[in-house]
């Protein structure tokens, strides 16, 4: 598969990680072409760290890998979803997902 088509607009693209068992959103990261290729060859989630300016394998220090079973692209080929199974908490805070804080919620109608 020609991976470069995903990087025509930018060298980094957003990657949503989703639990394949219940469709819960786990985290958001960014991938370059090398991270995407490594994810496909190893079966674990790889990203490009914008703050550290280097590749990183999610779980390399914590052991909480994400075992990727499927990668899907959006209609514009500029965002990906890694669908897989987390091996422990995904968030560095220890939460199962990085999305655990409610910012806003609509009022309930009676």
- Predicted confidence at residue 70, as pLDDT, reads 98
Place of tokens 């990261």: 29
Q: So what's the pLDDT on residue 1?
A: 64
Domains of the chain: 3-86 (3.10.20.810)
Question: What pLDDT digit, counting tens, does each position of 35-88 carry?
Answer: 999 999 999 999 999 999 999 999 999 999 999 999 999 999 999 999 999 999
From the list 76, 99, 73, the residue with the least C-alpha distance to 86 is 99
pLDDT per residue over 84-104, tens digit each? 999 999 999 999 999 999 999
- For 4-15, write each residue's pLDDT tens digit: 888 988 999 999
């Amino acid at each position: 598969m020609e991976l470069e088509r995903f990087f025509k607009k930018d060298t980094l693209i957003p990657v949503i990680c989703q639990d394949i068992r219940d469709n819960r959103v786990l985290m958001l990261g960014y991938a370059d072409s090398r991270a995407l290729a490594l994810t496909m060859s190893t079966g674990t989630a790889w990203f490009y760290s914008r703050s550290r300016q280097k590749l990183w394998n999610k779980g390399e220090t914590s052991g909480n890998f994400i075992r990727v079973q499927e990668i899907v692209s959006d209609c514009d080929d500029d965002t990906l979803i890694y669908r897989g199974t987390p091996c422990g908490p995904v968030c560095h805070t220890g939460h199962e997902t990085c999305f655990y804080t409610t910012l806003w919620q609509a009022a309930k109608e009676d």
